[in-house]
Amino acid sequence: MRGNPEVVDYLNMLIGGELAARDQYLIHSRMYEDWGLNKIFERIDHEMQEEASHADALIRRVLFLEGTPNMNRDDIVTGEDVVTCLKADLALEYHVREKLAQGVKLCEEKGDYVTRDMLRQQMNDTEEDHTYWLEKQLRLIELIGLQNYIQSQM
């Protein structure tokens, strides 16, 4: 089924963001594991897998719309410690959320309601799961202190 070229191009741009999120979560999860922070490792590893599934869904949709997926990922920011990793991941989620919202609007304008619904679901994951959890971790660090937070993640 031939899709709207603007929608296909936008989906390709979104693929780059999801691949970047996947890779950034991958490196951060492995850093947490190396530091012995098993709880946060498990959560971030789970987030990495979700980002990979988001990228997969976008790739499949581009193929369905008779486009060619663009596998060039956006740049990533690798943190140096727990706080900078969490802040980098949160900044990435804010960026992805904004791009998904713009994609929903574009799909609405072009009448591609199936793609719109797919992007809404990904936006829901981004807002209510990933972003909220990262914000909560940074608030916990402010409330209980970094050392107590790190101890809770072991």
Residues in the annotated binding site for Fe cation: 18, 46, 50-51, 54, 93, 127, 130
Binding-site residue positions? 18, 46, 50-51, 54, 93, 127, 130
> What does the angle CA 34 – CA 89 – CA 83 come to, to the nearest 5 degrees?
60
